[in-house]
């Protein structure tokens, strides 16, 4: 299939597909007579793997590492495990940050007092301190 169909089947934009290729996350596909990229179902599987990693917020670099590891089936999976643990730690850290953000934003929202002038607004006051 050509890139248009590949794009629709995978749910990735054409530009993103070409970008992934440049970055080494997709193998260079065969080309048609007129230099069009031609993909098969194996390429589709690989792209779906990448998409799954990205949906977990795993960076392209780490995704690339996972792809490489995937091609060494006999090696120990400890580095795979470490990578996921690290990703989990990252998510936990960000969640903690967001909880703090949320608390402060809520407090600010309730400090507004509505229908105030900006001068009297509790939000601006708390941002200013």
The answer to the question of residue 119 lying near a second copy (CB under 8 A) is yes
Q: Which of 27, 45, 59, 116: binder of DNA (CB under 7 A)?
A: 59
The distance of closest approach from Cβ of residue 17 to a second copy in the complex, given in angstroms and rounded to an integer, is 19
Per CB under 7 A, 49 contacts DNA? no
Per CB under 8 A, the segment of 13-21, 24-32, 34-42, 109-117 that binds a second copy is 109-117
Give the C-alpha distances (Å, rounded to integers) separating 12 from 39, 51, 52, 70.
14, 8, 12, 22
CA dihedral 29, 25, 19, 61 (to 10 degrees): -170
Three-class SS of residue 39?
A: coil
Would strands 37-38 and 30-31 be described as parallel, antiparallel, or unpaired?
A: antiparallel
Please tell me whether residue 117 binds a second copy under the rule CB under 8 A. Answer: yes
35 sits near a second copy (criterion: CB under 8 A): no
Q: How far is C-alpha 21 from the chain's CA centre?
A: 16
Query: Is 66 a binder of a second copy (CB under 8 A)?
Result: yes
**Residue 88 interacting entry, from a second copy, DNA, none, C-beta within 5 to 8 Å by type:** a second copy
């Amino acid at each position: 299939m050509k890139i248009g169909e590949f794009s629709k089947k995978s749910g990735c934009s054409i530009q993103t597909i070409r970008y992934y290729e440049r970055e080494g996350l997709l193998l260079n596909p065969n080309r048609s007579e007129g230099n069009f990229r031609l993909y098969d179902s194996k390429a589709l599987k690989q792209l779906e793997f990448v998409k799954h990693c990205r949906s977990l917020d795993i960076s392209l670099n780490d995704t690339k590492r996972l792809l490489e590891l995937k091609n060494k089936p006999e090696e120990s999976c400890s580095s795979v495990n470490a990578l996921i643990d690290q990703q989990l730690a990252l998510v936990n850290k960000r969640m903690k940050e967001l909880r703090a953000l949320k608390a402060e934003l809520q407090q600010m929202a309730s400090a507004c007092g509505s229908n105030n002038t900006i001068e009297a607004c509790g939000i601006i006051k708390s941002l200013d301190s």
